[in-house]
Amino acid sequence: MLKHTNFVFEILITFILGCNFDRNKMFTKNFATSTTCDLPNHASISSLNRSLKLDGEIQFENLRYAAKDFGNRYTYHPAAILNPKSVSDISNLINFIFQMGPTSGLTVAPRGHGHSLEGQAQAHQGVVINMESLAKSQEMNFHINGDTKTKTPFVDVSAGALWIDILHESLKHGLAPKSWTDYLHLTVGGTLSNAGISGQAFRHGPQINNVHQLEVVTGTGQVVTCTKEINSDLFYGVLGGLGQFGIITRAHISLEPAPKMVKWIRVLYSDFATFTDDQEHLISSSNGSFDYIEGFVLINRTGILNNWRSSFKNKDTVQAGRLFSEEKTVYCLEIAKYFKQEDSVKIDQKVENLLSKLNYNESTLFISQVSYVEFLDRVHVSELKLQEKGLWDVPHPWLNLLVPKTKIYKFANEVFGKILPDTSNGPILIYPVDKSRWDTKTSMVTPNEDVFYLVAFLSSAMPSSTGTDGLDYILSQNKRILEVCETAKLETKQYLPHYNTQDEWKQHFGSRWDDFVRRKYTYDPLAILTPGQRIFQKSVSFL
Ligand code: FAD
């Protein structure tokens, strides 16, 4: 079992890299006064089939895939799956359910690539919309010269499109999106409903800051085009809105000239303060700096060097190995510099100059040169290896936290090495971003400080294990981490948040809760949409 765990870790490190809920507790203050709905009965489900005129189709069998996700811990069976071929399929379905009124109990969940962790794209006895089916019948339209207003290139895509497909299509025009996630086999709608954060966010902001027009189907079935200027309340609401205010059907995504190659670099630190000082220095000097800045923690991982040797060059592996064996906890800064073929002569000097300003342990410089696509799609390589071993579909009790800059030292002190004796269950990412350059009008919730760290505990659990690589053990560690954040008043926020009670959601949104509820009432008054987030429950109180 331990062997498996190590294998999972070694592969996942390249990420860097790398139900029972109480329905009655889910009501908001206002929704709470309402009568709880029954689950939909057969009559309401079959009326869907009879009454809807669709370009695509609705299926009532083979529904199991829609009751699963990457987290592999929650299973809510839907009553049907809609495979839309047009936006009006989605709008007709939602409007039909809206017209049925609150008592039907029917809910609707858009499902992107199903890489949620806790059933967020599922709908218990509701209808799951397969957004990838919509993408198959919609084109990607490239606007190389932008529009009259932006004058910068963008692509108009289906929200069910995968980022990896957008990358390949954009490259045909010599262009690429600016802001990514570490893994590209996710849909546009799925990441825009959260934020989409990766090592480019320090410069470009998250993916939700790199779209300038959306088409949305609201919870009444209305199809609305929105931008920062037109229907801006809905535009900002759905970005980071956890699928609560509408289903995104199309998005305009900003593009930039694509590089060809990437210098991919890892350097190590034994001192946490030096590591974070360098990270913070790098994200503050936006232009002329590296193009991607992340980092990760290695606790008791002496074997990791063997894994890196195959893909990274290092002048002095013996010295680097000594650092691992002497230090229990080592911090790795991961950075990348993009370049075009014609710049390949100058790039080494450029990288050397940038590196000379950093304070990593000498002899721990690992450099690799890969194509832009290889770099961006790096996690997929690991996915294929894990799938081959049957280790991709294990439970993933991930915990993603946003930690304010002034609290990161205390956080690290409490968590690394104390709560976590090692990092063999999966990588721990840690890197800062500066939201003073972000558009913060979206629904995404962040800590109060401008600079905060994304700390991602990306654990994989071995299904039948009761040991330290088992689900219960990892969940108990996650709980302890959250408790430390609470008791030490670290003012962290969850990213890809998951809660069971209304009070927890209220606390998560803080002063923005009232606005979140107002938008729900405005755009999805019957709480039909995206029940798997467990924020609101379909109710009769509104209207
Ligand atoms: P789904 O899981 O299908 O849906 C996610 C949520 O969005 C659900 O609530 C769903 O109902 C809703 N939704 C889906 N489509 C739409 C739509 N069109 N309109 C409105 N709501 C919709 N995140 C990062 O930010 N950075 C990373 O680097 C990163 N790396 C990851 C690596 C891996 C291996 C995995 C599994 C996840 C990673 N994530 C990362 C998290 C990921 O961004 C989210 O889980 C995302 O929601 C998954 O996209 P999806 O298409 O699978 O969405």
In a domain, 510, yes or no: no
The reply to whether 253 and 271 lie within a common domain is no
436 and 342 housed in the same domain: yes
- Residues 426, 458: one domain? yes
- pLDDT of amino acid 440: 93
Residue 502 domain-assigned (yes or no):
no
Looking at the fold, whether 88 and 105 belong to one and the same domain comes out as yes
Contact 398, 460 (CB under 8 A): no
Choose the catalytic residue: 69, 113, 115, 383.
115
Q: How far is the CA of 186 from the centre of ligand 1 (A)?
A: 6
Residue 543, domain member (yes or no): no
CA 34, chain centre distance (Å): 33
Structure tokens at 292: 């991607």
Higher pLDDT, 287 or 425: 425
**CATH code of the domain in which 87 resides:** 3.30.43.10
User: Which of 257, 276, 310 is a domain's end point?
Assistant: 257
**Residue 540 counted as domain residue:** no
Crossing angle for the helix pair 87-100 and 42-51, to the nearest 10 degrees: 140
Task: Specify whether 176 is located in the same domain as 223.
Answer: yes
- Strand 127-130, strand 80-83: pairing: parallel
Nearest CA to ligand 1 atom 27: 181
Residues 43 and 165 in one domain: no
Residues 454 and 336 reside in one and the same domain: yes
Q: Is the CB of 11 under 6 A from ligand 1?
A: no
The predicted structure's pLDDT at residue 406 = 98
pLDDT value for 30: 36
Domain boundary among the residues 257, 281, 307 is at 257
Q: Are residues 301 and 444 in the same domain?
A: yes
* Pocket of ligand 1 contains residue 159 by CB under 6 Å: yes
119 and 61 in a common domain: yes
Q: Do the domain assignments include residue 71?
A: yes
Domain that holds residue 75: 24-134+515-533
Please give the angle made by the CA atoms of 164, 63 and 114, to the nearest 5 degrees.
25
* Strands in 60-166 per DSSP E: 80-83, 108-111, 127-130, 141-143, 154-158
Give pLDDT, residue 313: 79
Same domain for 299 and 393?
yes
- Alpha carbon of 394 to ligand 1 centroid (Å): 18
- pLDDT tens, residue by residue, 271-326: 999 999 999 999 997 667 999 999 999 998 877 777 777 778 777 677 777 777 77
189 pocket-lining for ligand 1 (C-beta < 6 Å): yes
Q: Which of 192, 223, 257 is the last residue of a domain?
A: 257
Q: Note the pLDDT of residue 194.
A: 98
Q: Looking at ligand 1, which residue's alpha carbon is closest to its atom 7? A: 190
Q: Are 159 and 89 part of one and the same domain?
A: no
CA–CA dist 499, 439 (Å, integer): 26
Q: How far apart are CA 428 and CA 416, in angstroms?
A: 10
| Residue with token string 């989409």 | 196
Domain count, the chain: 3
Q: Which of 105-114, 208-217, 342-351 has the lowest mean pLDDT?
A: 342-351
Clarify whether residues 288 and 426 are in a common domain: yes
% of the chain at pLDDT higher than 70: 90
The pTM is what? 0.93
350, part of any domain: yes
Q: Mean of the pLDDT values across residues 368-387?
A: 96
